[in-house]
């Protein structure tokens, strides 16, 4: 299978490339600059297309079976303006999708974000895909808008869509300021690690599992005979507190320092439970 991948140098994208290529798939990977580097070392390089998201034309998509859209703008603070997030997370991908449709591509797999649910996370023990989208971040708002746009695009053009709202993904290649990599850095350095009380409940899923699920989705969508767009929550199905998660990895790495529990206050507006209902 020939897969066109956006966001290929990112955290999930880099891990997906390694896994998909190891499974024998042919990858065309998009990156903005020839100097862009993947978050993890690749065992085999894909074919790289060096272009901005909104510069891709139908000729770049020749013989592609599936478009896997992983590119996301301004995922971490400080978040960009709503206008810029809407352009790069909505307008530019729609331009690319239209070129793909002109190229005859019928199958699209898209990585969304659990944060599209926003404040609705507080209303459910397990968030269903039918929950209202009430985002509180510019990034999340633009992703929520894009999910509606992609749905409409699929219906309007008679193409197949799998849209996955991904929950707390972690692992190698993750932005170093996030919980798992900063926890690992402190553990391996023998340092103490200040954290909140860690009472927040999350669904953590390892990035390799996300890569496996996305490739499975790409394989399945090819064989689907119906064209009803599919919206999906992508998680592990194993909710746990941030404290439980931190303690597990702290012990696994044989940390000599201490977890300084409660040293950091919760963020304003912290959602204390954010767990998906899996399809």
Q: Are 37 and 13 in contact (CB under 8 A)?
A: no
Within 10 Å of residue 119's Cβ, how many Cβ atoms? Answer: 13
Q: Is 66 helix (H, G, I), strand (E, B) or coil?
A: strand
Mean pLDDT across 7-15: 98
pLDDT for position 268: 85
Contact 175, 181 (CB under 8 A): yes
Residues 6+ apart with CB under 8 A from 6: 13, 30, 53, 67, 68, 69, 70, 71, 93, 96
List domains and CATH numbers for the chain: 2-170+204-234 (3.40.50.720), 179-201+239-274 (3.90.25.10)
Judge whether 276 and 209 are in contact, CB under 8 Å. no
pLDDT tens digit sequence for 69-95: 999 999 988 999 999 999 999 999 999
Distance CA 242, CA 277 (A): 19
- Predicted confidence at residue 177, as pLDDT, reads 94
Q: What is the mean pLDDT of residues 148-152?
A: 97
Q: Say whether the peptide bond before residue 78 is cis (omega within 30 degrees of 0).
A: yes
- Look at residue 269 and tell me whether its pLDDT is greater than 90: no
Residue 136 neighbours by CB distance under 10 Å = 13
Distance of alpha carbon 188 from alpha carbon 15, whole angstroms: 23
pLDDT per residue as tens digits for the range 214-233: 999 999 999 999 999 999 99
Q: Given this model, what pLDDT does residue 77 score?
A: 87
Q: What percent of the chain has pLDDT over 70?
A: 100
Query: What pLDDT score was predicted for residue 252?
Result: 98
Specify the pLDDT at position 65: 98
pLDDT at position 1: 96
Q: What is the pLDDT of residue 271?
A: 87
The reported pLDDT for the residue numbered 69 is: 98
56-68: average pLDDT: 98
pLDDT at 191: 98
Would you state the pLDDT for residue 136? 92
Compute the mean pLDDT over every residue in the chain, rounded to the nearest whole number: 97
CA dihedral 92, 95, 96, 100 (to 10 degrees): 170
| Spatial distance between the Cα atoms of 101 and 106, rounded to a whole number of angstroms | 7
Nearest Cα neighbor of 86 from 132, 147, 133, 7 is: 147
pLDDT at residue 270 is higher than 90: no
Mean pLDDT in residue range 133-141: 96
Q: So what's the pLDDT on residue 57?
A: 98
Taking only the tens place, the pLDDT of each residue in 99-109 is: 999 999 999 99
């Amino acid at each position: 299978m020939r897969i066109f991948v956006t966001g290929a140098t990112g955290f999930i994208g880099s891990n997906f490339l390694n896994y998909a290529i190891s499974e024998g798939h042919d990858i065309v990977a998009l990156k903005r600059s020839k100097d862009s580097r993947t978050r993890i070392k690749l065992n085999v390089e894909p074919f790289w297309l060096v272009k901005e998201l909104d510069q891709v034309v139908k000729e770049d998509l020749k013989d592609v079976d599936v478009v896997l859209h992983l590119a996301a703008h301004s995922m971490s603070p400080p978040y960009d303006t709503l206008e810029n997030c809407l352009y790069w997370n909505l307008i530019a991908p729609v331009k690319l999708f239209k070129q793909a449709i002109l190229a005859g591509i019928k199958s699209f797999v898209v990585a969304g974000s659990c944060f599209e649910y926003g404040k609705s996370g507080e209303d459910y023990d397990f968030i269903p895909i039918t929950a209202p989208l009430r985002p509180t971040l510019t990034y999340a708002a633009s992703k929520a808008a894009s999910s509606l746009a992609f749905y409409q695009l699929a219906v309007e053009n008679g193409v197949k869509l799998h849209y996955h709202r991904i929950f707390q993904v972690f692992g190698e290649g993750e932005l170093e300021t996030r919980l798992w990599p900063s926890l690992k850095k402190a553990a391996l350095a023998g340092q103490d690690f200040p954290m909140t009380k860690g009472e927040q409940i999350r669904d953590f899923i390892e990035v390799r599992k996300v890569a496996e699920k996305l490739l499975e989705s790409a394989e399945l969508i090819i064989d689907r005979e119906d064209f009803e767009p599919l919206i999906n929550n992508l998680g592990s199905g194993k909710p746990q507190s941030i404290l439980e998660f931190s303690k597990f990895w702290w012990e696994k790495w044989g940390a000599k320092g201490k977890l300084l529990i409660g040293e950091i206050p919760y963020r304003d507006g912290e959602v204390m439970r954010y767990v998906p209902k899996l399809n």
